[in-house]
Structure 1
């Protein structure tokens, strides 16, 4: 019998454990359970694991637990093959360090402004996450000092080899102290990666994660590419239009999200309930029993509490939040299609999560087909069909004789045709709720299956032959969003103030990238960005989830916490522009 390990058993620091609880992680994934104790003990790690196994937390949590925040120079250096992965890892560190005052992490990659990175390095950072080319540049310039480095992480080493970075990686390793700890993670073990592991790692602990690949053939899998701010609208459309939905489980990452989403679904007329670890066991059992008996139709749950759940009427599983590891995906969708019954699994993927989708497909050894949102016409047709079905069902009941007599009396006394009486009764049944959905389409995010490769660096150069070290390549320039300084936001948008501006060295791409990562929004939903000297304003979807706003409020850009707040009245925040000739040494 396998004893399930908790994060508390892993001897992580109290601040890290608080952050884990906030994020909603409940039990460590296999790679976390094996790697964290070894890294806390100062041992080198050689990990073979795919993307999607939870390996970022496997090295970030012990690194933060061992960090000395009084030390100014970097203590952790993470090398990643792409700028996208570097940003994701840096954001993960920031989230895990939420309760650690004074913690600083810096992503450095080609195409970003050197000056901003150099100023941040001078002020002091505890963790640097970067692509090999830009890391080499900073080491050569003397702006990245590695004398106090405690931990070096090579993330996706085989991918760095494939992209021609292996010589750069080896050069960087040579610049690090001999006493540093090394964690090398790779999905495969090519000869060159094995050579580096043998040469630089000191008696490493090997962690090999073999993933289950079986998913029931009775489960029909689909994915929908959707921006984070539009997930709820997309979900409600699918719930209306999808055929033969009986009971459903909707998986989210955190306990807070279970309650928030269940309440939103109830407000839209769905019989939904939250199921998470904070709910008492006897109450959980009552909720599951209600699902079995058809008193509720939807459970919004976290991974752990739903494991082992077997309710025959579960026809659909929705991965509202993509799981943190691929094993969880398999466990999640296994709640449907049981005992030979047919089941449906729908996965929501934001544009920033394309890599995770590909990883799930590799693990399950199956290509997941894309679905598209039901149109307004589809929804309205479905409403008509359901309304007719309700009327037919009522007509088939045994106690309708009295009502038939009543209709005949009304037809005779008022000289009203039966069809008009029926129309009046149908209107009475519908009440004041609009019958048809207005034609206001929800935009799907662009689904370019290979677009996750954009921005990759190859052999120290960006794709298309643009040089990373030059810092002025066209491919690395920030794409400026629309700057239509309208007095009021567009319909469906709300204006927000961000506490970062020109004097902090911020550029449009910094803000757009942060919002896209934290809120899962595609750039087309990030509008009217206006950067002032000490703050910025931006228009975002009005229906952006509260959790996304909370995440943005805590996010950092150019050394400044965004502290996002709604601009009252919808107009632009007051503008106090400094003279262009005013010199200042703003934080960045």
Structure 2
């Protein structure tokens, strides 16, 4: 396998530098390229297109966003037999989103070739739509390996006359467990086909695959001067693990964003974090490999349409996701390799737009931050945790915005008459009525409570037994829940004010339909318990009592739903952490108890 290196992302030197005119492309393809605004080939395009036009097999190594799709789509369309009814080209992609993205790109580059049909086939879509397209005939098939295998097994896809095969994001296909499917498809294709393999990395499995199925392939490597796009603002926040949720919540409240992807490492973490964010009032949904394809499709459409603002995702689940609305990427869990970081933040700042990336880093993860900065060839900007004043300023501003919006409502006249009648009959000032109505909808926990003084927090830590979370916690049950429109802030505000507690005295809060579970210090005195039992949130008494629903083991630890003995849950680590004088808000539990 011969090699070709291009060391940066600047326009290529040599004969290709003048643009696409010297590459021998079909004039109709060249016209379509002009239509979409391409003037000069990117390095991967300048290096790859001549090879593919000459009939060579190619291995292209380049990161996301370097123009790989055009690098193989343009030469394939220029050499395609438009009169053929059987597929001439097959592109394999690891995810539905990438398959659709590639299919749309082929459609754009063939816009002046009306006889060319491009058909995406992927899992989760109705077979009927795909079967109809295959019966009508399509020269280009773009599919995921599993669904392509299904059609081959059913005899509905005939690749006996295939001329071109592309493996896009080959490393991801192997990582996702498609190695056997890919080899099966390769084995079923004609010997004479031309193969192009594109990958961000070159692990041994990819090299073995290329050696077995590609003929005298040219290896093209494009190394970017900067691994990540210049139009993405990259920041990081030092935060201990147990304070991540509070940090994310504050960031979401003060940062202006359109849509966001929050990356975590595991499937279970996507569900847990999404539930906690929803409990705090954010429109968040989890997306991971266990999600059914139809549900995944609905979720992404909801994100595109603005019905969802936050996706909590794993690396694999977000692969190929291209949504214009994504203005921010948050690395809630820091990736263990720099390539994953590049792929993650590449979900924002697409098509020349500006983007924002935030990375959470704990003290033990500083070495991973340094690796990312070395790959970036520039440092990330450190930011501080938004303060309580920052959050409250935003809450007040959003409250004012909601008033302005409602002033334009068609129902305003009806409510104005009701309020005026109430004011006259009860001799109450209009401002007081407005405040009372706001209290009904916003509750008493509207503003974030001040962080406790450092001295108080330090004393609490010193009183705690060694190795504890800053005090032993017990679970208490209160008689308000979702149907009472209660929020975590309202719970904290009411209990802290009446019980003389600080924010550091709260552990997890789990809001259920008609009640909530709150973790508070185990040693609340009888006087405090009595006061809290009669505390109200809005018009509803909370009736705080010990929760007796979760059985304990002989060792005292509650059993989890799986029967395992569990120690302190997330949020019960050493308090104080990285933020010095800054405190935190309660953690909203995402799991059911016993």
TM-score by length of 1: 0.43
TM-score by length of 2: 0.43
> If you compute each CA radius of gyration, which structure gives the higher value, 1 or 2?
2
Which structure has more relative contact order (CA 8 Å, sep 6+)? It is: 1
